[in-house]
Each structure stands twice: as C-alpha cells, then as structure tokens.
Amino acid sequence: MKNLYLLRHADAEYASPSQPDMNRALSQQGIKEAQWMGHIIQKKINIDAILSSTAQRAKETSEIVSNIISYDIHSILWDKELYLAKPEIIESKIIKIESSIQSLLVVCHNPGLSYFASSLNISSPYLLPTCGLVSFKIDITSWEDFPFAFKEFVSFEYPHS
C-alpha cells in the first residue's frame, strides 16, 4: 500500500510584469499557510519523499513543510517539469519514484494539480486552494503500477483563513 499526498503551493506574491512567474515568492499569508500545513502533516502523516516543482513558491512551500516535519531539505526531489505541469506530466513523475518509497508528497501548481487530483477521484472533483492537500491510498507495491491502480480518497485539508 502506498500513500500519495498532493499539495498545492502556498499563497504567492502578486504577479509583476518585471518578474517572471517562476520567481514569485510566498506572501506573508503563504508563509503562514505553509507553516500550518507543515504542522498538519507532522501530526498526521509520515512522509518518505517529497517531489517538488522548482518554482520559487513551490520551493519555499516544500522547504517550510520540510523544516517542520524534520525532512532533510537536501533530499527533496526537485523537478522543473512540475512547474505548471499537466496531469499526465505529474503522473509520469510519480511512476518513476523508487518502490521503497511508501508515502510521497508532491508539491506543484494549479490547474494541473487540481485536474490530476480530480482524475483520481472522479466522484469528487477538486479545485485545490493555496496550500490545499489531498490524500490517497493506492493498493500497489511499485509506483510503476500507479496508473492502473485503484486510488482511495483519504482526506482533504486546507488552511481556513
């Protein structure tokens, strides 16, 4: 049995014509959201690996959560292709995760992340808010089998601000 956690990055600063979207940092609200989510994860979940977009807002979210749950930041699997990734890209990254990893946290962006989460649980579509976390149990021994496995919805958490 594997556990998949999909986390949208926390709230970011407003877009600016002078700054590339990829470089948008977390807002003060986003920092609070990421800290809140870090404490939720710390209380409820044991994470074996974190796979994250390299966009600044996703990196900061991943690093804040990692610090709170005592996960080694140097072990985060950074992937630039997760920046604004479509669902099929997200899935292609998941199936490459080592079989020894039981609990995977993926940190990336909407709309792809919400579309991906919704595709796993068609009866309950998601529009993940900033720092929204949706969890699934998957009856597999290898992440390679992910596309063909039944995904059981477990929970949906998000900061209420």
Which pLDDT belongs to residue 95? 98
Q: Which long-range contacts (CB under 8 A, 24 or more apart) does 141-150 make?
A: 141/2, 141/99, 142/99, 143/2, 143/94, 143/95, 143/96, 143/97, 143/98, 143/99, 143/101, 143/104, 144/95, 144/99, 146/2, 146/91, 146/94, 146/95, 147/91, 147/95
Which pLDDT belongs to residue 1? 96
pTM for the complete prediction? Answer: 0.96
Which pLDDT belongs to residue 93? 99
In a domain, 22, yes or no: no
CATH number at residue 144: 3.40.50.1240
| 3-40 residue pLDDT tens | 999 999 999 999 888 889 999 999 999 999 999 999 99
Which pLDDT belongs to residue 125? 75
The tally of domains found in the chain comes to: 1
Residues in the chain with pLDDT values less than 70: 161
In a domain, 26, yes or no: no
Which pLDDT belongs to residue 161? 59
In a domain, 70, yes or no: yes
